[in-house]
Amino acid sequence: MPKTEVILTHNIVGLGGESDQVKVAAGYARNYLFPQRLAVPLTQTNKRQIEALKQRRAEREAHEFNTMSELAKGVAKLICVVKVKAGDDGKMFGSVTAGMIADELKHQFDIALDKKKIHLEHPIKTLGEHEVELHLHAEVKGALKVRVESLTPVAAPEAASAEAKKDEGRTEKRGKRPERAEKVEAAEEKPKAVKIEKPAKAAKAPKAEKKAKAE
């Protein structure tokens, strides 16, 4: 594929900044860079523009540095809340990515930040607060606090402990019932005390019989 040398008139990520002389595919230059006025062919006439382009580049980079420095100070005071689905035990379904954080920054604070500037070594997979590193500029880094919350309320440890104690109490009570039943059964099995009746006193003789004996 034939190459051609051009002078960039604007910053192009991955290619270069204003005043840079780069080699690109001839078709790319002809069909995109030149029509969009992002570059001009490398000629003696165009070389005269290099100093002006360098000045413009310096101004742009200084502006970007100042803007990103202010942004780093601003986001350091913020807490970006990201809500996710999680189970009752607090275990997340999925993870939080740089794209999700960028979306929430835009939604919550109207801060447009390229997700590529949000540096995550690994996606966030736990609830709570996390400090995320930001690569805002070649010379500017920042930090953002991200709080990951569950969309559904998670049972508090104290409440779970209290509920567990209640369950234990219920189990103990249920375990005591058979003991009471055994006591009742034992009481029923005890023989009743037998009352010993005293012998009846001899009945007095009728008065008529007494008289007959007297005669």
Q: Is the pLDDT of residue 127 over 60?
A: yes
pTM of the model: 0.60
Q: What is the pLDDT of residues 164-212, one digit of tens each?
A: 566 565 655 555 555 554 554 555 555 554 454 554 454 454 454 444 4
Provide mean pLDDT across the span 115-139. 93
Examine the fold and report which residue of 119, 150, 181 is the final residue of a domain before the chain moves on: 150
For 35, the domain range is 3-72
Joined together, the tokens standing for residue 169 give: 């109490």
Query: 13 or 201: whose pLDDT is higher?
Result: 13
Query: 159 or 33: whose pLDDT is higher?
Result: 33
CATH number of the domain encompassing residue 86: 3.10.430.100
> Which secondary-structure segment (H or E) carries 159?
helix 157-189
Q: Is the pLDDT of residue 162 over 80?
A: no
- Which residues make Cβ contacts (< 8 Å) with residue 186, sequence separation at least 6? none
15 by Cβ neighbours in 10 Å (0-12 / 13-18 / 19+) ranks as: middle
Strand 3-8 versus strand 79-84 pairing type: unpaired
* Domain count within the chain: 2
CATH number of the domain encompassing residue 54: 3.40.5.10
Asked whether residue 175 is assigned to any structural domain, the reply reads: no
Distance CA 158, CA 166 (A): 12
